[in-house]
């Protein structure tokens, strides 16, 4: 091989060219494929935030975590967790340094765009029964028509007990669907804007067509559906008012491509960061700084509610830890939060060559190039963005490089094209250092999203290196 010229040497030193992970390291590729098998199971078992919380809690218990008890004392290396209203999970490994020196936090969300049933959802029309829905989060409504759907949820009974259920996931289950107009009669629909291809009030789920046998019964199909639901679950129509029921795609997570290098599934946003973060927390042993993995809810609608990051449940957990050391003043909480460092683990859009005009190619993330750091998110003029400090970015970069973590840097798309954000700005309100750091993906917010296996595995490596950093 010919010796490199001085100019070639300078180009190698000065220019930045990210590398496709699998091309660079075949060992990482093999490990990524193995990691993806656990991740696909996680996706299939957790299609709702409640199911993710239950699955995560079981994983934590199996790994030796104990439920946090504010009356007990904990030593470095102890692993604790708690669940907030069965929808959000906090898992922590106690570090050797004082709490006031700050924590190492990785925060991901577990809710995904979906369809929720309305409080009074069941109705009959022309000898067919339907559920009325209310879409959740930023979905493209036209994508939900003519595909098999499953129904997951929980009913609470009059006595306060609850019952979880899912229909449509087992191969022997029935599935459900939202119908669409045939193209032969779709001339007027074709003239609609794409965003109105299927309107919100048309997102009605077809659930039955048989009627009760007795004649002269009003809403006989609706009644027959209710009879079947009552026989199966013991519920009445009124019970829908005290239920949380979600409609999701019925398909399972599958390998994508002849090379099986990608995973297609529902809920990558943001379970492709939640699972690596949880696995990194589980695998972290004897950290210097106390580590915390937060799997939160309601990010898709602004992180509101008592299970979202705007809620006090996480700072309350920090306050409880401080109280164990005798520090009950609010100043200690604020000091601990201010000294903490955070990775806001949420997905980023990867350059899609089919729709390349939406992206600024030089600054776009790409599938298979490792975990993506986003200095800022927001919309247009960085509205709603945290915009991470350069010093913290440098520190994170050093952590990743020292641990041989494949990483890239990117932003969401062209400046005037739109935008989006996540929880980074919320955590920054506490004064802590925070940067967005997540997996890049295709078809975000669609019923079927695409990620690279190597990127999911890179996320695990990144979060683990961050947890273990000094």
Angle at 23 between CA 20 and CA 29, to 5 degrees: 95
The hierarchical CATH code for the domain 6-112+266-467 is 3.40.630.10
The hierarchical CATH code for the domain 114-249 is 2.30.250.10
CA 376 to CA 388: how far, in whole Å?
6
Cβ(419)–Cβ(379) below 8 Å? yes
pLDDT of residue 1: 59
Cβ(465)–Cβ(284) below 8 Å? no
**DSSP string covering 69-81:** -TTS---TT-EEE
Per domain, the residue ranges of the chain are 6-112+266-467, 114-249
**What does the block give as tokens for 459?**
């996320």
In this structure, what DSSP letter does residue 294 have? E
Q: How many CB atoms lie within 10 A of CB 319?
A: 19
pLDDT of residue 80: 98
Q: What pLDDT digit, counting tens, does each position of 390-448 carry?
A: 999 999 999 999 999 999 999 988 988 888 888 899 999 999 999 999 999 999 999 99
CA 121 to CA 139: how far, in whole Å?
20
State CA 51 to chain mean position distance: 12
**What does the block give as tokens for 314?**
């996480």
Q: What pLDDT digit, counting tens, does each position of 276-316 carry?
A: 999 999 999 999 999 999 999 999 999 999 999 999 999 99
Specify burial of residue 154 (Cβ count, 10 A radius: 0-12, 13-18, 19+): middle
CA 199 to CA 238: how far, in whole Å?
27
For the chain, give the longest Cα–Cα distance: 92
CA 157 to CA 159: how far, in whole Å?
5
Question: Residue 154's closest CA among 87, 82, 252, 80?
Answer: 87
**What does the block give as tokens for 403?**
């641990």
CA 95 to CA 468: how far, in whole Å?
10
For the chain, residues with pLDDT lower than 70 are 1
Which letter, b or e, does each residue of 401-413 get, where b requires 16 or more Cβ atoms within 10 Å of its Cβ?
Answer: eeeebbbbbbbbb
Instruction: Note if the pTM is more than 0.85.
Output: yes
pLDDT of residue 15: 85
Question: Residue 374's closest CA among 395, 347, 404, 414?
Answer: 347
CA 328 to CA 99: how far, in whole Å?
13
The SS3 assignment for 459 reads helix
**What does the block give as tokens for 173?**
């289950």
């Amino acid at each position: 091989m010919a010796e490199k010229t001085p100019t070639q040497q300078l180009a190698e030193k000065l220019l930045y060219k990210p590398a496709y992970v699998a091309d660079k390291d075949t060992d990482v590729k093999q490990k990524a494929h193995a990691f993806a098998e656990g991740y696909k199971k996680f996706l299939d078992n957790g299609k709702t935030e409640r199911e993710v919380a239950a699955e995560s809690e079981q994983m934590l218990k199996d790994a030796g975590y104990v439920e946090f008890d504010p009356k007990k004392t904990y030593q470095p290396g102890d692993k604790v967790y708690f669940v907030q209203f069965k929808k959000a999970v906090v898992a922590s490994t106690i570090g050797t340094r004082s709490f006031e020196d700050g924590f190492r936090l990785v925060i991901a969300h577990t809710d995904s765009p979906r369809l929720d049933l309305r409080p009074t959802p069941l109705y009959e029309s022309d000898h067919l029964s339907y559920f009325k829905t209310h879409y959740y989060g930023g979905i493209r409504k036209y994508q939900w028509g003519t595909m098999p759907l499953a129904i997951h949820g929980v009913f609470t009974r009059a006595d306060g007990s609850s019952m979880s259920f899912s229909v449509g996931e087992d191969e022997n289950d029935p599935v459900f669907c939202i119908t669409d107009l045939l193209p032969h009669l779709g001339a007027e629909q074709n003239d609609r804007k794409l965003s109105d291809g299927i309107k919100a009030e048309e997102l009605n789920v077809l659930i039955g067509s048989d009627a009760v046998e007795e004649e002269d019964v009003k809403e006989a199909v609706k009644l027959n559906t209710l009879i079947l639901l009552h026989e199966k679950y013991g519920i009445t129509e009124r019970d829908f008012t005290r239920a949380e029921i979600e409609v999701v795609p019925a398909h399972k997570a599958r390998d994508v491509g002849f090379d099986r290098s990608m995973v297609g599934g529902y809920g990558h946003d943001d379970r492709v960061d939640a699972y690596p973060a949880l696995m990194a927390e589980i695998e972290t042993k004897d950290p210097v700084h106390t580590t915390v993995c937060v799997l939160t809810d309601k990010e898709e609608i602004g992180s509101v509610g008592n299970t979202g990051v705007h809620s006090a449940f996480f700072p309350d957990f920090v306050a409880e830890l401080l109280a164990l050391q005798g520090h009950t003043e609010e100043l200690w909480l604020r000091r601990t939060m201010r000294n903490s460092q955070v990775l806001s683990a949420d997905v980023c859009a990867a350059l899609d060559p089919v729709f390349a005009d939406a992206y600024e190619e030089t600054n776009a993330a790409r599938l298979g190039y490792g975990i993506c750091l986003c200095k800022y998110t927001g919309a247009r003029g960085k509205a709603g963005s945290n915009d991470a400090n350069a010093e913290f970015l440098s520190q994170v970069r050093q952590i990743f490089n020292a641990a041989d973590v494949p990483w890239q840097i990117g932003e969401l798309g062209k400046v005037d094209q739109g935008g989006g954000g996540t929880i980074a700005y919320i955590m920054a309100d506490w004064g802590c250092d925070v940067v967005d750091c997540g997996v890049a993906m295709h078809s975000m917010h669609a019923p079927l999203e695409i990620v690279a296996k190597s990127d999911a595995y890179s996320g695990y490596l990144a979060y683990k290196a961050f947890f273990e950093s000094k």
